Amino acid sequence: MKCMKCGRDVYQSRNTEAVELENGCLLVIRNIPCQKCRECDEILYTGDVVQQLEQIIAAAARLPQEVMVVNYDRAA
């Protein structure tokens, strides 16, 4: 895989994302597998990971918590 921004090589890494849901909940997802650019730190996710993130977000949106921290590995 190559960086979509600058075209340099990417390496396997882990990332944390914070998402604000429509119900006002702040969802933090840790340990997300990603590809990271050596040059500009652009983060890329594979299709599988994007789908999994969407499922985690959809599940979190049904819970009445204000702040949630989810570990990708345990949620997957």
- Segment lying near Zn ion (by CB under 5 A), choices 16-24, 25-33, 34-42, 43-51: 34-42
Question: Measured from the CB atom, is 5 or 14 closer to Zn ion?
Answer: 5
Backbone phi, psi, residue 36, to 5°? -120, 140
CA-based nearest residue to 30, from 38, 19, 41, 44:
19
- Least distance to Zn ion from the beta carbon of 72, Å? 23
CB 31 within 8 A of CB 17: no
Examine residue 4 and tell whether it contacts Zn ion (CB under 5 A): no
| Contacting positions for Zn ion (CB under 5 A) | 3, 5-6, 8, 37, 39-40, 42
